[in-house]
Amino acid sequence: MQGRPSQGYDPRDRSSGKLLATSNGNDSGKQRAIPQRPPGMPRVENPPQTPRVARPQRQPKPTRSFGRRLLFIALIFVACAVIAGIVGFGLVNYFTGIGNSAGAANTTTDFMLNLKSQNYDQAYNNDLDAKITISVTKDEFKQMALADDHCFGVVTDFNEVPGSAVSSTNDSTQSYTFNVSRNKLTKTYELTLTLQKDPDGNWDITSYGADLGPTTPTCK
């Protein structure tokens, strides 16, 4: 039949023949022939090795000795201990001073309130030190207070003189000065009380001056 390829013809034979002709230089110039190695040139089986530059080594950091670290930590602990000791000593002295002042001030206030309320027995028993009570009996103290009331009037008011509180260097004694008002006096007078701390930490009055009034009463 016309247009039908003849038997025994294979298109692959044509492609193979053309590729072969190209490789042998029989082509019409559409493809270039593979160049031939010149005679005498050695055949290189493996590419030449390229020399590699050594990578710079990282220098290790110098390590601190264990002894130096231990010494540094010990110095920190010593410094903290010293600071804590100084702060603690200051706080102890501060609160001790506050406690001493509060105890002495409470005793003087209680004594003056007893004088104002004419409760002389309680003032004698609770607020006076043995330095007074061994030389002045309770009745004698009460008679002195009543004589002051008779001549100068009873105590109507009292106020601590600002800045009058004085403490000894070892905080064993305190003194306070009060402006005292009596109903028969036109002006106040000063009454100074001295206190001492006993071994139990209690504060008692060791001195109230020559008398509880402005002067020794002379009226009858």
Residue 1 is assigned to a structural domain of this protein:
no
**Domain count within the chain:** 1
- Is 195:107 a contact under the CB 8 Å cutoff? yes
Rounded to whole angstroms, the Cα distance separating 20 from 17 reads 5
pLDDT band of residue 53 (cuts 50, 70, 90) is low
pLDDT digits (tens, 9 = 90+) for 199-215: 888 999 999 998 999 99
Q: Which pLDDT value is given to residue 29?
A: 52
Q: Inter-axis angle of helices 138-152 and 120-127, to 10 degrees?
A: 130
State the pTM of this model.
0.55
> Is 92 a member of any domain?
yes
Look at residue 9 and tell me if it is in a domain: no
Query: Residue 219 has what pLDDT?
Result: 86
Residue 51 pLDDT > 80: no
Q: Supply the pLDDT for residue 39.
A: 73
Residue 67 belongs to a domain:
no
What mean pLDDT do residues 18-44 have? 59
65-112 pLDDT, tens digit each: 666 777 777 778 777 776 766 655 443 443 444 444 578 999 999 999
**Residue 36: inside a domain:** no
The answer to whether 34 and 23 are in contact (CB under 8 A) is yes
* CB burial readout 165-181, b (16+ within 10 A) else e: eeeeeeeebbbbbbebb
* pLDDT tens digits, one per residue of 121-178: 999 999 999 999 999 999 999 999 999 999 999 999 999 999 999 988 788 899 999 9
Instruction: Tell me if 214 is assigned to some domain.
Output: no
Provide the CATH number for the domain around residue 201: 3.10.450.100
Q: How far is CA 36 from CA 23, 40, 42, 45, 210, in A?
A: 12, 12, 13, 17, 142
Q: Nearest CA to 204 among 97, 106, 137, 135?
A: 106
Domain range for 97 is 82-207
